[in-house]
Structure formats: C-alpha cells, structure tokens
Amino acid sequence: MTKKKRKTRAQRRPRKYSPRRFKLAIALLGLLSAFLFAVAAVFTYHTLRFTALVDAKLVGESNERPATVYSRPFELRQGQRLSRDELVAILNDLGYRQQPSLGDTSGTFALTDGADTVHVRRSGEFRAPVTVDFDRLWVSSLQESRSGARLERIDFGRVPVTTLFGADRTKRRWVPLEEIPPHVSQAILATEDRRFYSHTGFDPIGIARALVTDLLSGELRQGASTITQQLVKNYFLTPERTWRRKVLEAYLAVLLESRASKDEILELYVNEVYLGQRGSFGINGVEQAAQIFFGKNVGNLTIAQSALLAAIIRAPNASSPHRYPEQIRERRNVVLRQMVDAGFIDETSAEFESTRPLGLIEGTVDRGEAPYFVDALTRELTKDYEARNLQTRGLSVFSTMDPYLQSRAQQALVEGLEEIRSKLPQGAESPQAALVALSPRTGDVLAIVGARSYGTSQFNRAVDAHRQPGSAFKPFVYLAAFENDSSLTPATTVVDEPTTFRQAGKAWTPQNYSRRFEGRVSYRRALALSLNVATARIGQDVGFDQVVALWKAMGMSSELSPYPSLVLGAFEVTPLELATAYAVLANGGYRIEPRFYTKLSDASGATLGERPVVSRPVASPESAYLVTDMMRSVLTFGTAKEIRARGFTADAAGKTGTTNDTRDAWFVGYTPDALTVVWVGYDDNRPLGLTGSQAALPIWTRVMKAAVSGKEKERFVPPDGIAFVDVDPASNKIAGANCPTRQREAFRRGTEPEERCPLH
C-alpha cells in the first residue's frame, strides 16, 4: 500500500501555474524590488545628507572659529602692586607652561620653592631668562637671570581674554590637541571611552563592559556612549531618549569615524565638551574649564586636576566642584583608579594624586574674562562688522583692555562694596556700583566693571546706566569760566553766601552740603570744598548758556538746560560719558573718542580694520590745566583728602560727586596716565545715604593704586602758557617773607598777581 502510494506520487505530472498565479508572483517580486530600492534610496539619501552635515561640521570646526579677544600687551614693572600668584595667573592666561626648572624652551616659567620668586623665559626668539622677586604684594625686583642686570620693566605679549559668544552664551577657548597634555586626554578616555582608538564609532564591547561594571558597583560609573556618539548627539540630534535616536546616533558615529581621524574627533570633543554653567554662561572645552576652575592654562593642569575635569563630564551641573567638593573629590579619585585600570598611570601616581587638594579658585567668569568690557566691545564691533562674521571667521580682536587693571578693578569694586556695607544701616540692601578706567591720552578703555557680579546682573551700568552726576559736574563750570574770560584764575574770588536764583520763573535757593557758608573764597577753595552756592554764582557770572554750549562742544550727548541747578549735575550721564568729559581736562583740552579695540585681523593675520586715536580741541590747554591744578586741591585739603590718608601718593586730580538726597555717589579722578570714574547707588534710585567720598572714593583709591604702581613719579606737565607764583591764601597776593602760609598758584601768563600780600 505504501509503495503504491509512493509510486503514484512519483508518477504525478508537474504542476502547471495558472497565468493568474504567475502574474501574482511577478507583482510580489516587483514590490519586493521596489521596497529594497526605496530602502537603498533612503539609505543613500540619508548617508549623503549626513555625510554632508558631518563634512560641513568638520570644515566649520576647523575653519570657523569665534573671534578671539586679546588684551593690550601686559607690562610688568618694578614696584608694581602685584603678587607672585597674580603673575602666575597672568602667565597661565598667556599660555606659558610651568616647568620644574627653567630650561631653554621659550614661553615657560618656574617657581622657587619657599621663596617669592618667578623665573620666566618669555615667548619669542633670543629672549634671555628673567627673575622676578616679590615682597608680598609688590614686585620688589626685576633682573636678567644670567647677568644680574636690573630692569625697570618687562614687556609681555597680549593676553587672550575670551572668545566672542553668540546667542547661546557659550564660553570656550579652542586649543589644538597637540597642546593638551596627554594626561588630560587620558583622564577623559579612561572614564568616557577607553576603547576610543579601537572601535569604529559604535562599541558593543564597551557597552557590555560598562553594563557589567555598573551592575557590580551598584551605581552608574561608566557610560555606554562612545566619545564619537556623544559628539554626534550634541551636533546633530535632539536630546530625546528613544530607540530611533540611539540607532541614528550609532549610525552617525560610524559615519563620522569614516570622515575624520581619531585625533580630529578627540580634538573636537575636548574643545566642545560641556563642563557646567557659570552665571549666565555655559562653559565648554577643557581650556575654558581649566581657566575657570583652576586659573590655569590647560597645559599646566596636574593629573589630579585633569581627573577632576573628567569627573565633571558625566553630570556637569550636578557635579559642580564649588557646590559639591566632597562628592567631586570622590568622583575624581574614581577617575584616577580608572586611569590605572586603563594603563595610563601607575598605582603610585594615582595614590599620590588622590591626596592632592582640589586646588579650585573662585569659579566666576568675572575673573580674567572681563564680561562687561567684552559686552561693550562687542557692541562697538557690531557697529562696523556683521555679528556672524565675528563668531565664525576666527578673527583676532586687539582690544584696549589692560588685563592687570581689569582684574584689579573687579576686585576693588567688590571689596569697596563690602566696605560700604559697614557704613549702611544694619539690614540695608547692598547697593550696586560701576567703574570705567581709560587712558586720557589715547581714549583707550582700560577696564570696565558694570556691577558687583556678572553672574547675577548682566546690565552694564558703566555704559548704560544714566544717572545724575551731582557735584562731579562742577569742574566744567570752572572750565567754561576760564574759557570765556581769560583774566580769571584759580586765585579769583567769589562770595559764598545765601543766594536765591531764578529758575524757570521759580526761586531756587541752594545750600552747601555742610550747611555752612565760607564768605569770600578763591575759585580753588570753592571747587576743593565743593561749595554749591559759590559755584552757582560762577555759573551765573559766565552764563549758564555758556556752560551748556561748552558741554555740547565737548561732544556730550546728555541734554542740559541753562538753569542754575545744572551746576549741581541736575541731568543724567553714563559713567563712560563722564569719563570722556573728564578726559578733556586730563588731555589738555582735547576731546578723545573712547575706543575698545585698536585693530581687527583675520585668521591669516591680515588687518581688516583699525581704530585710530581720534581727538579734537574743545578747550584751551591753559584752561584745562588750571582746572586740573585746582582739582589737585580736592585731594590735598578738599572733599577727597581721605585719598591721601589711604596711602595714595601719586600726583592726581579729582572730584567727588553727590546728588540731592544722596541717590548717587561718584568719584572721578586721574593721573597723567590713567583716569577712573566710579559710581555707587541703587538701581531703583532710592537714597544711598552716603556721599561720593564715603562710597565711591574707597573704590577709586584701590583701582588707582594699581594703575599707578611702578609709575608713581609721573606728574602733570603744564603747558607753556602757564606760570606759577607763590601767593598767600588769605589775600591771593604774592607771598612775602612774613606770610605764615603760602600756596603755589597756577596762572595763565599775563594774569599773575603783581602786588605783595598786604596782610603780613
């Protein structure tokens, strides 16, 4: 039976397919071919598309860099107020490498253990090594290390300050991979992607190892994404957590590996990796983080510090070293152990590095980054250049910022506000402050601080806050008087007594701040003591419209009305505008246009634009000098005499400023080389309760001590049209042998007194 069945089956004829079945088979085959073709087309399209994106990103990262802002060249001077640690910080900013001992490599420095000494071999050829000795906070000596020859000053290069940021407010400093020490990259590889140089972008072995490690330790110790995957996630993908995105991430990682070398990918990563937030800025890249966390060039990081940076990558904001020091110490030591496991360092080194302190500095972009200055600089640049070009073409901006003075200014403002707190009623809110320092000879803005902290307030009060100048305006009343009547001198007298002026049809009776009247006083004494009534009388004599005309001729934009109250600064100016006005006095009657940069060059070094010194005469040199000489007395016996008590000895002129109800406190002063304006007050215009000498003067003194350190001997040089005569202050006549006191007074030639003092 079975055999018969088998035979019957064998003898069956082949099955014939009907035309209908044949057509169905052909259709199915066509659909399958179309599907496979569509898949291939989609794959090819996306491959080409993502290849173009990857190539564009690689080219962009290689050729498109944000503009780098450089400071003016740093000058180290004998007698400068600078500590060893501060010089080390500046050398780090300059990119100098620290060595155990100074060799023949330029751009290096070494420290002497147990001594306040720094040995430096400057960048460039044929630079002899120099030795810098310190006496606590002062540079005590500069000398060539080999010959022992004494030096007055040492010039260094321009300090890289920051890069111009875009709308994302990201701070980064790009560093080539070859300039990054191996232990920095190794710390990152050990914790983020140990098999980086072995895989093709996607690493199944690494994922399996990380999973086992995390399960055994009971915590998330190793990540599953490769460095390449992390890059493509940040560059091309959204942060959503889906299987589709993970598959696409792996695919793009393999694609990126096919388009770039391992070193190129690692260079991208170490310069782009996110390492936390400081105020309103995101911190990206190991160089920027090294500056923010340690105040160092990345090339000077220790192994422990490198491990700390690597420890932050996993959870940057949750691992903030300043907020969670103990947790980050533990995580740093885990990274050191991972470096041992990866064969990057040995057990002994790891044990030693794990005992090191964290070595953190105050984590703020205010230090070294000069954010308020850079904001003002960016505003100036965007008047002439497209913002996108400034952020993508790798330009170099040679700014006018003095890195040493900018750092001192920020420190002085914070310390000064702390001092002010002790003068305010208990529980009173701390006020705000702003500061502008510039060179009156060139208009170069040397330093700008717009508030106590950029992290808490990005409003730049130094250039944007419009406040009443108060008595700080008075010198321009005297300048107008000297300009309109050449017979007037600082010895000319005016009566200081109760007076009522007519203002817009109303009576105005000003009072002196002391509520006392001096009677007949010289112009010098009236300005030194900031006498309101005497100054108003001078304004009336010269004509209030003439004071307004002079202000406009000086190029000031603030609106003034020719009323008596203008002598008390009853209008609004910004600190930068007031600094520009005072520069006319300091610069012999020439208006100098403030500038924030001198030159802009492209990536090849070709100059794209320059900002020359722009000046024009608006007052005579003699009138400007007479006002300057009168303002010297403000510091010797006037409202700012505390400056001398605080140890400021340089030749300087200045003026306090206090508005009605003490809503604004000012001090403006200058030496032949530097001019600084300080404002203190509340943003909501409530009364401060302190005068300019109480609130602004201490900050100014701190800043200007730094500005003149090593240059204290510079003095104002009078123009040829000025003569000096010793007079008796009581009579303002030529002092005789019997006069108990004498004042060396400045006069325009031809206006000197001819009579001897009749009183003695």
Active-site annotation, residues: 192, 471
Q: Is 53 exposed, middle or buried (0-12, 13-18, 19+ CB in 10 A)?
A: middle
Helix H or strand E encompassing 109: strand 108-111
DSSP letters spanning 478-537:
HHHHHHH-TT--TT-EEEES---EEETTEEE----TTS---EEEEHHHHHHTT-HHHHHH
List CB contacts of 502: < 8 A, sequence separation 6 or more: 508, 564
CA distances from 561 to 435, 540, 547, 566 (A): 27, 13, 10, 7
List CB contacts of 700: < 8 A, sequence separation 6 or more: 643, 654, 667, 669, 676, 678
Q: Token pair 């060179």 is at which residue?
A: 439
How far does the chain reach from its first CA to its final CA, in angstroms?
160
Ramachandran area for residue 302 (φ above 0: left; ψ -120 to 50: alpha; else beta): beta
Q: How far apart are CA 704 and CA 409, in angstroms?
A: 9
Q: Are 533 and 549 in contact (CB under 8 A)?
A: no
Q: How far apart are CA 433 and CA 668, in angstroms?
A: 13
Q: To the nearest 10°, report the CA torsion of 178, 182, 187, 188.
A: 20
Q: How far apart are CA 50 and CA 48, in angstroms?
A: 6
Q: How far apart are CA 404 and CA 447, in angstroms?
A: 9
Cβ neighbours of 280 (radius 10 Å): 13
- Residue 752: which of 722, 718, 719 has the closest Cα? 722
Is residue 719 classed as helix, strand or coil in its secondary structure?
A: coil
Strand partners, 155: 75
